[in-house]
């Protein structure tokens, strides 16, 4: 069997988990999650992991994989995920990769950027600046030395901002000017993106936030703080959790907290789509309601059965459009 992989990408609340689950059942295969928050065992409600019946019926990798007390990065993820892909290929199965973390998706499918080694001295100073002067100060510095990265970077992720500044101070050039290591494609890739009308997607996000609050997210955050402390980086960098921290500390009212979570989740979804739109290999599948999921599955199966991967499309000069 060819070394094929299927990737389902898109924003939060776009239905990726359902598509991946149903596709895995049809193809008799397994699912590899590419979500940098669902990977943590303790983050339950706020990360909206696939439902238990999905996890029981189809093997999902990298769901509840590690603890928020452990160190984990994209390099470890790629190494472990490639082992899973290899195992599935040996069993004549096509891996289905699903997630909204663009960094994980890109690193796994296209190769991992190898920047300079970390500098403890520089990292310590930048982390000190973050604690004492806040994330806006770091962003001001990044905009000055690397405006390209400033425009693209997740402005709510201090670790990535610190890393971008660290690379600049180590190399004397912006991280955006360093070339990503090019690698020979390891797999024949079929990459599908789920695209919703923005208004409908935002309604889905708002409903999801209401659902996780009603399910007990506030109590979950309370328990996490008791066990891991207020300064756990994963908690304070995760949408939904960081806003509730503000509520628990009396900085926000309940209604303000809910609205802030909805707003930040919508902004996160927008950043996800901005990231994925840059990938010209993605076949975008438009959805306007849950009733169209069957049609989406059929289009994916049709594309795969006809062998219309991005590589084959270019090789055979099939012209624009995968689905015809």
**Whether residues 246 and 144 fall in one domain:** no
* Strands 188-196 and 4-10, sheet pairing: parallel
pLDDT band of 316, cuts 50, 70, 90: very low
**Whether residues 170 and 194 fall in one domain:** no
Q: Cα(187)–Cα(185) distance, rounded to whole angstroms?
A: 6
Residue 185 lies in a domain: yes
Chain segment 237-251, per-residue pLDDT in tens: 999 999 999 999 999
| CB environment 190-227: b (16+ within 10 A), e (fewer) | bbbbbbbeeeebbebbbebbeebbeeebbebbeebbee
The pLDDT, as a whole number, for residue 1 is 45
**Whether residues 126 and 191 fall in one domain:** no
Lowest mean pLDDT among 74-78, 148-152, 176-180, 239-243: 176-180
> Per the structure block, which two tokens stand in for 138?
């770091």
CA angle 151, 277, 279 (to 5 degrees): 105
The pLDDT, as a whole number, for residue 182 is 46
Across the range 91-107, mean pLDDT stands at 94
Residue 324 lies in a domain: no
Q: Cα(32)–Cα(98) distance, rounded to whole angstroms?
A: 6
- For 109, residues 6+ apart whose C-beta sits below 8 A from its C-beta are 5, 7, 97, 187, 189, 191
Residue 251 lies in a domain: yes
Domain finish residue from 160, 177, 194: 177
Residue 243 lies in a domain: yes
pLDDT tops 60 at residue 82: yes
**Whether residues 152 and 225 fall in one domain:** no
**Whether residues 222 and 312 fall in one domain:** yes
Residue 194 lies in a domain: yes
> Per the structure block, which two tokens stand in for 57?
């019926």
Tell which residue, 18, 24, 61, has the closest CA to residue 39: 61
- Host domain of residue 126: 120-177
Residue 107 lies in a domain: yes
CATH number, domain at 141?
1.10.20.140
Q: Return the residue matching tokens 């995920």.
A: 81
Chain segment 171-212, per-residue pLDDT in tens: 777 877 664 444 556 889 999 999 999 999 999 999 999 999
pLDDT tops 90 at residue 119: no
The three-class DSSP label of residue 195 is strand
**Whether residues 227 and 100 fall in one domain:** yes
Q: Cα(251)–Cα(107) distance, rounded to whole angstroms?
A: 38
Q: How many CB atoms lie within 10 A of CB 184?
A: 5
The pLDDT, as a whole number, for residue 53 is 97
Domain finish residue from 177, 195, 225: 177
CATH number, domain at 205?
3.40.50.300
**Whether residues 27 and 157 fall in one domain:** no
**Whether residues 146 and 97 fall in one domain:** no
pLDDT tops 50 at residue 23: yes
Q: Cα(15)–Cα(286) distance, rounded to whole angstroms?
A: 12
pLDDT band of 264, cuts 50, 70, 90: very high
pLDDT band of 48, cuts 50, 70, 90: very high
The pLDDT, as a whole number, for residue 115 is 62
> Per the structure block, which two tokens stand in for 51?
């439902």
- Output the pTM of the full model: 0.80
Q: Cα(177)–Cα(167) distance, rounded to whole angstroms?
A: 11
pLDDT tops 90 at residue 169: no
Q: How many CB atoms lie within 10 A of CB 255?
A: 9
Number of domains in the chain: 2
Residue 204 lies in a domain: yes
**Whether residues 60 and 201 fall in one domain:** yes
Sheet holding 31-33, edge to edge: 60-61, 31-33, 96-99, 4-10, 188-196, 283-287
- Is 5:97 a contact under the CB 8 Å cutoff? yes
Q: What is the 3-state secondary structure (H, E, C) of 159-182?
A: HHHHHHHHHHHHHCCCHHHCCCCC
**Whether residues 152 and 94 fall in one domain:** no
Across the range 51-63, mean pLDDT stands at 97
**Whether residues 48 and 17 fall in one domain:** yes
Chain segment 294-310, per-residue pLDDT in tens: 999 999 999 998 887 76
Secondary structure letter of residue 117 according to DSSP:
P
Residue 323 lies in a domain: no
pLDDT tops 70 at residue 162: yes
pLDDT tops 90 at residue 47: yes
Tell which residue, 249, 119, 276, has the closest CA to residue 195: 276
**Whether residues 287 and 205 fall in one domain:** yes
Torsional sign, CA 236, 239, 242, 244: negative
pLDDT tops 90 at residue 51: yes
């Amino acid at each position: 069997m060819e070394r094929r992989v299927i990737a389902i990408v898109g924003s939060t609340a776009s239905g990726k988990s359902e598509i991946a689950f149903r596709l895995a059942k049809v193809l008799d295969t397994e699912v590899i999650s590419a979500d940098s928050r669902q990977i943590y065992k303790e983050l339950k409600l706020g990360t909206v992991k696939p439902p238990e019946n999905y996890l029981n019926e189809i093997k999902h990798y990298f769901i509840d994989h590690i603890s928020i007390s452990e160190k984990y990065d994209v390099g470890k993820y790629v190494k472990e995920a490639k082992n899973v892909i290899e195992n599935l290929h040996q069993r004549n199965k096509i891996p289905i990769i699903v997630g909204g973390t663009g960094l994980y998706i890109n690193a796994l499918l296209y190769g991992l950027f190898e920047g300079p080694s970390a500098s403890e001295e520089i990292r310590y100073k930048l982390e000190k600046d973050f604690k004492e002067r806040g994330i806006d100060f770091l962003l001001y510095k990044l905009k000055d030395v690397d405006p390209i990265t400033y425009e693209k970077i997740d402005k709510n992720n201090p670790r990535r901002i610190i890393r971008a500044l660290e690379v600049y101070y180590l190399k004397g050039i912006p991280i955006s000017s360093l070339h990503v290591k090019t690698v020979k494609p390891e797999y024949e890739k079929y990459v599908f993106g789920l695209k919703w009308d923005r208004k409908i997607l935002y309604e889905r996000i708002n409903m999801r936030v209401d659902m996780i609050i009603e399910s007990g997210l506030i109590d979950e955050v309370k328990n996490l703080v008791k066990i891991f402390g207020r300064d756990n980086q994963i908690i304070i960098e995760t949408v939904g959790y960081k806003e509730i921290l503000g509520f628990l500390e009396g900085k926000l009212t309940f209604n303000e907290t809910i609205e802030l979570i909805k707003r930040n989740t919508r902004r996160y979804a927008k950043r996800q789509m901005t990231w994925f739109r840059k990938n010209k290999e993605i076949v975008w599948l438009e959805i306007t309601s849950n009733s169209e999921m069957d049609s989406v599955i059929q289009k994916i199966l049709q594309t795969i059965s006809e062998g219309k991967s991005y590589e084959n499309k270019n090789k055979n000069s099939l012209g624009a459009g995968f689905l015809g």
